[in-house]
Amino acid sequence: MTFYEFSTRWINSFIWAQQKINRKLEVFKMLLVHKFKIIEANKHITYREVTSEVAVLIDDSLIQYIADTIKWVNSHWIDFSNFSTGINYYGITFFEGSEISELELILENWKNMFEVAPDEFLLKTDYDLEEMIFIRENFSKMKVLKQLEDVLQLCVNARDTSKILVHFGI
């Protein structure tokens, strides 16, 4: 075997392995979602009493991108005695009354901005400390708008019926 043949095989093997890793990462990333749903108003409810069944899903990458602005909204983490802001990334968050209206306003403005995006676009969602670069992810305009519209509809329903909006972290 010549050096050229050896190096070509090695490079092809490396490319194949990298593609396989990328496919596995895509599958893993599809599992990272945040869920939203509305429940009956009850200030005594805790995280133990709610389930994420029949919930609206938002990709974690989108949540990461808009997370700084969601932190502006008052919320309750785990139960109504724990006042906080934004969403509990790994746990349960409750929004009520004006908190829902504030979240709705922020999400509505993100939706308005994404409406002028191209059909496919890249966003910086994370930072790789080893490579010292921002990680850019592909997004579909239709998918992003659908996810935001679904949560916005929950906000409207929860606000209009005096219910609670619940967020389930990853």
pLDDT in tens, 87-113: 999 999 999 999 999 999 999 999 999
**Predicted pLDDT at 67:** 94
Q: Is the pTM of this model over 0.85?
A: no
> What one-character-per-residue DSSP string does the chain give?
--HHHHHHHHHHHHHHHHHHHHHHHHHHHHH-EEEEEEE---TT-BGGG---SS-EEEEHHHHHHHHHHHTTSEEEESBTT-EEES--TTSEEEE-HHHHHHHHHHHHHHHHHHTTS-SEEEEEEEEETTTTEEEEEEEEHHHHHHHHHHHHHHHHHHHHTT-EEEEE--
pLDDT higher than threshold 80 for residue 2: no
**Predicted pLDDT at 50:** 87
pLDDT higher than threshold 80 for residue 73: yes
pLDDT in tens, 23-54: 555 544 556 999 999 999 988 888 788 888 88
